[in-house]
Amino acid sequence: MKLDIQYSKLIQGEFFPTHLNLMLVFQVNCPGCFLHAFPQMNKLYQKYHEQVSFFGLSTAFEDFEWNTAEHTQLLVEKGELIGETKKVFAKSGIPGFSLPFPILFDSMISKNDLLNETSLQNATQQLVAINKTPDTEIEPTKLAIKEYFSHFDQVGHTFIRNWLRGTPSFILFDQELTILGRWFGEMPQNKVEETITTHLAIKAGK
């Protein structure tokens, strides 16, 4: 399956996928992203940045007044936290965080665009492919997707088109945007490193 990515703004750096890439999808009003995902991402960056390209994608599927490109810009340029992230981070005792990789902001999709026939058809085809759905379940799947989309006034393109479960989410992909692995929330550091090492070896032809 290919990574379907669209972004509305480059906050920092450039988006140039290489032979192996790891993307952290986060929301600025997501305390867990800052307490757990960013520290793990930074450890991976320090260890693998000469072999793997790293990216952060700020998105939104809730708290739209907080999860914006403007707040992402303030985060990157001034280290400014907002909302629940600011409250929780202040109590955590963690001294700070760094963002040494490119940061993008997701393109937003309106409810009307989510619910049009083309969008529903594309979403159905993707979910059918992922779940290997039998033909008899295609129409019920489409109806379920329509119901699911109806709960969003807007949502991040990359978030919804790749059926991410929430934030933080990690996506490992190659230069052709083929998704090699993805996971939601925390995966043990040794498991993540094992996954990266395995794909580096495959890319090197070992």
Domain layout of the chain by residue ranges: 7-107+157-203
The CATH superfamily label for domain 7-107+157-203 reads Glutaredoxin (3.40.30.10)
Helices (H) and strands (E) in the chain, counts: 9, 8
User: Per residue in 84-113, is it b (16+ CB within 10 Å) or e — as a string?
Assistant: ebeebbeeeeeeeeebebbbbbbbbbeeee
Tokens of 135: 């033909």
Alpha-carbon dihedral sign for residues 46, 180, 169, 23: positive
Residue listed under structure tokens 């085809």: 125
pLDDT of residue 191: 95
pLDDT of residue 149: 80
* Residues 178, 203 contacting (CB under 8 angstroms): no
* pLDDT tens string 175-201: 999 999 999 998 999 999 999 999 999
pLDDT of residue 95: 64
Q: Which stretches of the chain score pLDDT less than 70?
A: 94-96, 206
Comparing CA positions, the residue from 103, 86, 124 lying closest to residue 13 is 103
